Amino acid sequence: MSTPCPSNRFWEIRPGDTLFLIALQIGTTEEILQQLNPTVDPRNLHVGGTLCLPPTGCPSGVFWVVAQGDTLFTIAQAIGTTVERLLELNPNIIPTNLQIGQAICLPD
């Protein structure tokens, strides 16, 4: 990567990765990844290459990785919080369409 990465956070591209899947896993958008990586062709990611990631945006820095069967309700119950608090911390998620591997920011 020739351009500086302000967050100093990187993703090493693995087989099967797409900007959509990476964005989903780290809780950001494809558009933000493209802005941070203007020289990367999103249709032709190279395995072993790196992408600059945005700052976490998660105040606690702690995430739940969605597994099969997880819902915001079951996640909230498991960690002792509310669905409303999870939505406050994750304004870009679609509560009725959680994806396996998606990162959900958790409260402190």
Same-domain check for residues 48 and 22: yes
Please count the structural domains in the chain. Answer: 2
Q: Residue 44 sits in which domain range?
A: 10-52
- Which residues are bridge partners to 64 per DSSP? 104
Task: State residue 100's pLDDT score.
Answer: 84
DSSP code, position 100: T
**pLDDT at res. 1:** 41
Q: Say yes or no: 44 and 69 in one domain.
A: no
CATH number at residue 14: 3.10.350.10
Write down the pTM of the prediction. 0.62
Residues 32-64: tens digit of each pLDDT: 899 999 999 999 999 999 999 988 777 777 888
Does residue 2 fall inside a structural domain?
A: no
**48 and 16 in one domain?**
yes
Same domain as 101, residue 67: yes
Q: Could you tell me if 45 and 75 lie in one domain?
A: no
In a shared domain, residues 44 and 68: no
Q: Is residue 76 part of a domain?
A: yes
Alpha helices of 1-108 — where are they, by DSSP H? Answer: 19-26, 30-36, 72-79, 83-89
User: Residue 69 in contact with residue 32, Cβ under 8 Å?
Assistant: no
Mean per-residue pLDDT, 76-84 = 97
